[in-house]
Structure 1
Amino acid sequence: MTPFTVPVEGLATDIRLPDGAGPFPAVLIRTPYDRRRHRAELRGWARRGFAALVQDVRGRHASPGEWHPYENEAADGAATARWIRRQPWSDGRLVATGASYAAHCSLVLALDAPTEARPDAVIAVVPALGPAETAREPSGVERLLARAGWWAAHGDRPDSDENALEKALAADPGLLTHLPLTGLPERLGRNLPSWPGLWRHRERGQLLSRAEHAGTPLLAVGGHHDHFTEDTVALWRRWGGPSARLLLGPWGHGLVAEPGPEAEPAHRVSLGELYVRWARRALAGDLAPGHRGAVGLGGSPLWVPADNEGEPRTQDIRLLHGSSFTADPERPVSSADLAVPTEGPPDRCLLVTPPLPRPLDVVGPAEVRLRATAHTPSADWAVRLVALTPEGVAQRLAVGVVRREEPPGREAEFTVRLGRLARRLPAGTRLRLEIAGHHFPAHARNPHTDDDPVTATRMVTSRREVDAGSVALRLPVLTSRPTPTGPAEEILR
């Protein structure tokens, strides 16, 4: 199991082989986040009989070349896969795995590489499907804070500074308020030529359309509190390979290392062990065909089958205040603060449900339907759903943002999708719904002028009216006691 480092097709690659003569199946991780971080992971795979490899992608850390996110991964991955299969210690079978951007590397290898270079199985963890998916919501609204943080830390440089944005915000708390947003690199004191180009990517779904023609088994893993939850589920649903498995828990982007406030001890899954067991079965062809999976129900110890979704039910909800409000880009509703101002002119429409008379299990997509008016040619409608526990604690449940462009003053009827929920809400919980014009800095501010929010240099206020009687909060409610299962039970069948 002695590790060694070699240039594979010119790219720095760490390799750890199991004890014994071999040959072995291989597992490949291609990452921009420094291959040295994966040494413990390599040891784990090797102890379980896999030749384990981790590679710095082109232009990052010890690999030469220029770093162009999302551009070279299929070709470089294919060259590496061919090299692996030529080695005397390889039995020809290959698992591609990775998290976040590294999951993208695995997916494009499986979907875009020539047939002889494609892996035999893919583990895609919190997958970053592509630049358009990471930079924008499905509605097109820009994910500012997450992308600014990633580009400040990793963009256009061979190494990383994980705290680059945090340090810049400490020096200038208003860093992300300065216009235009394309000027962010100058304010960071960094050369980031790829930053403006990121926002020109608008077409989502290209990788998902190719996923329908996949030919390998897939294990997709995500968290309810991750940026890419919807993409993880969509990847699983649309995967065309012989089998697809989904594992979704009450976690953030770091999965079990980043549990949500509603995570239970039963959600502390040994992910590494599960990945190995799934990989063995996938390579042996022992997985049942079709789509299966397990979803952790936050606020309870239960796991439920991934296809167990609730029926859409409209919840009773009443207006507290703010049927008319002003969306002011200079004083946007904060994405980080769940407190609601009680003084001054309203900056959002606020509604609340009565206390739940009994526990409510919600599993599946949630949405809000409403009629509303904006007095500007462009308007974002940010809807945040918050649980107010019987103890008085506010907990974020879901957020959705859509962009509408209509003649000023014309009422429109539309739906805001809030993403997926998997949560048990205890009796006595009230649900608070906030309808606002901004959700900043998580999302870029709409300038309300019909200009692109990324290049705009001027912003104006936007008067809004919400027809409170039209607001319909629809939650996916399980109408019977959920069927319990376990992650291993669903993932390994």
Structure 2
Amino acid sequence: MSSIAEEAPTTSIGAAVEGLATDVRLPGGDGPFPAVLLRTPYDRARHRAEARGWARRGFAAVVQDVRGRFGSPGEWQPYRHETDDGTATARWIRRQPWSDGRLVAVGASYAAHCALVLALEAPGDARPDAVIAAVPALGVAETAREPSGAERLLARAGWWAAHGDRRDSDESALGKALAADPGLLTHLPLTGLPERLGRDLPSWAGLWRHRDRGRLVSRAAHATMPLLAVGGHHDHFTEDTVALWHAWGGPSARLLLGPWGHSLVAAPGTDARPAHRVNLGDLYVRWAHRALTGELAPGRHGALALGGGDLWLPAGTDGEPRTQRLRLLHGADFTADPDRPVRSDDLTIPTGGRPDRCLLAGPPLPRPLDVVGSARVRLRATADTPSADWAARLVALTPEGAADRLAVGVLRREQPADRESEFTIELGRVARRLPAGTRLRLEIAGHHFPAHARNPHTGDDPTTTARLLASRRQVDPESVALRLPVLPSRPTSTEPAKEILR
């Protein structure tokens, strides 16, 4: 948050809360002050500029290394101790002479998890008065798997290689390992990854046993404080961010969704435009002041960016479902071979040989199309194996000839072999203006690797098996219906700050 203007001198002090390494940055002048708490596994030293920004705007900024990370002693067990340690820290803050008792819990990714469990699971005297949760990692199960059970392999391998079972971090750990062995993630079983990384990662195998999705979202209905949820349309936690906002039961809930990746404004998508450059630090501070003084209007409000269009829409804007009929190009009968999976990092289509996906496309759009909301694909299909993943990838082919991924969904199905059935693959949220001349391409495959682990098609656990089986698929092309939420007319723009601060 270094972009916040300098307004007053600040004072930095160190502290140990329940033995955890903690930095406190106080505003200049006489207190007491409202406080901001950020608990992180990513090194509190990385947040010094952010803490100074909060202090210059009148907040006591408290930044803490979670248990077992960087300066804090103890054993690092992700997601296990954050409610207890956050509770102790919040109570400590409220006992300090510089605290006026008001507390805002803030954080991004894992730090957002720390803020949310404090708000939703801590005893009443420890709960914050407001929460800012950006790209929230709601829990271990939500980060590890899609709702259908498919494993998020690449993201979790990268995170565990960088941060798992160690006191410090090595952000480049997986990248270096892949450079040395490009086929690193193809080796089986996946639970053997630590050996191939040359690292002791005892928690890696246990990660995949977690399936208890939805705990924090279910508790969000009982929240008692305001929420500001911030996410990106290109972030892998977008659906969780929106679900949290929808479920929040506090007096007010605000949502900001931009055309960004997991690092938000630091990771703009190709569809980001000048209007989507937002000073998040300034917006957070202004929202926190209004939240603590009770100036926010009740209810759910916010703003979402229209990628490819230089504007913002009110949060909650959804288009009307429209079925896009597509023409089969090839692959109504294809083979999903986990030894040669469809790659998540490659948008080119192979030519020659037996098809590895069903490929459909539409004609050029006669006019611009604003797609805003949740997209899905309905189809009838058959697999000759009892376990099958169905990956659907929607790609925009621009008039200039570029391929731009719009949405992806992965559905895991267990059913008798060779039985045709009808099902829906959820593609997630889209917020994009598609210019005239754009063609939509839909790929239906059996894998989306390495973003997701390969289904071995044997019915065995994909993380522990060492046996793979090819799966023959048949898709009824006449049944394929792409449902897109389309705005019926050109939308009216709004200002994100206006919607967040109202």
* TM-score w.r.t. length of structure 2: 0.98
Q: 1:237 aligns with which of 232, 240, 246?
A: 246
Displacement of 1:10: 0.8
Task: Check the 8 A contact 1:305/1:483 in 2, yes or no.
Answer: no
Contact 2:325-2:480 at 8 Å conserved across structures: no
Instruction: Check whether the contact 1:3–1:17 (CA below 8 A) recurs between aligned residues.
Output: yes
Partner SS, residue 81 of structure 1: helix
Task: Measure the CA separation in 1 of the matches of 2:318 and 2:385.
Answer: 38
Q: Are residue 197 (structure 1) and residue 206 (structure 2) matched? A: yes
Q: 2:416 aligns with which of 374, 385, 407?
A: 407
**Which residue in the other structure is 1:451 paired with?**
460
How far residue 316 of structure 1 moved from its aligned partner, in angstroms, is: 2.4
Q: How does 1:264-343 map to 2 (within 5 A)?
A: 264-343=273-352
Give the distance between the partners of 1:123 and 1:378, measured in 2 at CA. 40
CA offsets, 1:387-428, max 9 Å, x none?
000000000100000011111111011000000000000000
| 2:28 is aligned with 1:19 | yes
The alpha carbon displacement at 1:308 in A equals 1.2
Distance 2:17 2:60 in 1: 15
> What do residues 47-73 of structure 1 show as CA deviations (whole Å, max 9, x unaligned)?
100000110000000000000000000
Paired with 2:44 and 2:348, the residues of 1 have a C-alpha distance of 41
Q: Which of the residues 376, 393, 397 maps onto 1:367? A: 376
Question: Within 1, Cα distance between the matches of 2:109 and 2:64?
Answer: 15
Query: Counterparts in 2 of 1:418-457, with a 5 A limit?
Result: 418-457=427-466
CA RMSD of aligned residues (A): 0.6
Secondary structure of the equivalent of 1:17? strand
| Whole-Å separation in 2 of the counterparts to 1:76 and 1:108 | 10
Once the two structures are TM-superposed, the CA of residue 343 in structure 1 deviates from its matched residue by 1.6
Kept in 2, the 8 Å contact 1:361–1:425? The answer is yes
2-side partners of 1:178 and 1:364: how far apart?
37
Deviation at 1:457, TM superposition (A): 1.1
Residue 481 of structure 1, CA deviation = 2.2
Aligned to 1:228: 237
Counterpart amino acid of residue 175 in structure 2: E
In the alignment, the residues of structure 1 paired with residue 330 and residue 490 of structure 2 have an alpha-carbon distance, to the nearest angstrom, of: 36
Query: What is the aligned partner in structure 2 of residue 356 from structure 1?
Result: 365
Number of aligned positions between the proteins: 493
**1:139-178 → structure 2 map (5 Å cutoff):** 139-178=148-187
Could you tell me which amino acid in structure 2 is paired with residue 17 of structure 1?
L
C-alpha distance in 2 between matches for 1:449 and 1:8: 50
Q: Distance in 2 between matches of 1:124 and 1:64?
A: 26
Q: Deviations over 1:210-256 (max 9, x none)?
A: 11100010000000000100000000000010000000000000111
Matched, 1:182 2:191: yes
The list of structure 1 runs, each at least 4 consecutive aligned residues, that deviate by more than 2 angstroms after superposition, is none
Matched residue type, 1:111:
L
Separation in structure 1 between the aligned mates of residue 352 and residue 289 of structure 2, nearest angstrom:
60
> Does the residue aligned with 2:27 lie in a helix, a strand or coil?
coil
Q: Aligned partners of 1:227, 1:12: CA distance in 2, in Å?
A: 30
Q: For residue 30 of structure 1, what is the amino acid of its counterpart?
A: R
Partner of 1:96: 105
Which residue of 206, 214, 217 corresponds with 2:226? 217
Question: Are 2:40 and 1:31 aligned?
Answer: yes
Alpha-carbon distance in 2 for matches of 1:36, 1:70? 21
Which residue of the partner structure matches residue 106 of structure 1? 115
Contact 1:13 1:53 in 2 (8 A): yes
Partner SS, residue 71 of structure 1: coil
Paired residue secondary structure (1:351): strand
Distance 1:212 1:455 in 2: 37
Q: What per-residue deviation string (whole Å, max 9, x for no partner) do you get for residues 266-311 of structure 1?
A: 0000000000000000000110000011000000111000111101
Residue in structure 2 matched with residue 7 of structure 1 by the alignment: 16
Describe the SS at the equivalent of 1:329: coil
Contact 2:368–2:436 (8 Å) recurs in 1: yes
Q: Does 1:69 align with 2:78?
A: yes
| Distance (Å, rounded) in 2 between the aligned partners of 1:452 and 1:485 | 47
Any gaps of 5 or more consecutive residues in structure 1?
Answer: none
User: So what's the TM-score if we normalise by structure 1?
Assistant: 0.99
